[in-house]
Amino acid sequence: MDPRKQRSRDRLYAAVLALAADQSISSLTVTQIADAAGVHRSTFYEHAESPQGLVEAALTAELDVLRSDLMKDRADAATAVATVTEGVLHHILRHVDIYRRELADGGGALHAMLGRHFRGTTETLLERGRVRIPVDVDGVSTTTVQAAAARFLADGTVGIIDGWLRHPSPRVEDFLRVYLALLPAWWPHRPQV
């Protein structure tokens, strides 16, 4: 990416995340974000179609770094997945005000984005042979079972995160204790914390 465009994107990401920490994504305006970032409205539209799109892009960029680290990690799958899960939780805590407001029992702006990200990570792990789902269902293809498992893990994880964030002081250790207890036996995970 062109360095000037990269700087504009970085400023927009920082501005939109700061604004979204204090107000709902639905109330943000392009003008407000552009002004906070010190860019023209037309520059905003080079990076996103809407304030929600920009918030999602900014958060996804951080999550993508964690996914990339997972794919590079040569540790066993359980250790690699646990390390990245902890990284995602710390990412969520850095943006806790945004996630608390925007997950909102599955109807919030970020529920689908976070679910897509987790599902994509599971699908990538499966494609690269880092994990295997040893579940056979008579009359159902392995591909269909894997797709269902990826969605099951993603949506369940987002639901647990939503519940965890309702605690006034969410702690990573508490999330992991519940999460690891609920993970299916076929998904790689380390022993409980």
What are 30-43's pLDDT values in tens digits? 999 999 999 999 99
Report, as an integer, the average pLDDT of 68-97. 87
Q: What is the pLDDT of residue 25?
A: 94
Q: What is the pLDDT of residue 13?
A: 98
Q: What is the pLDDT of residue 188?
A: 83
Q: What is the pTM of this model?
A: 0.89
Question: Is the pLDDT confidence value at 70 over 80?
Answer: no
Tell me how far the alpha carbon of residue 172 is from its chain's centroid: 15
What are 123-144's pLDDT values in tens digits? 888 888 888 899 999 999 999 9
d(CA 175, CA 192): 11
Three-point CA angle 180, 181, 186, nearest 5°:
70
Helical H runs in the chain?
3-22, 30-37, 41-47, 51-72, 77-94, 96-103, 111-127, 142-165, 172-182
What are 6-32's pLDDT values in tens digits? 999 999 999 999 999 999 999 999 999
Q: What is the pLDDT of residue 56?
A: 96
Question: Is the pLDDT confidence value at 193 over 70?
Answer: no
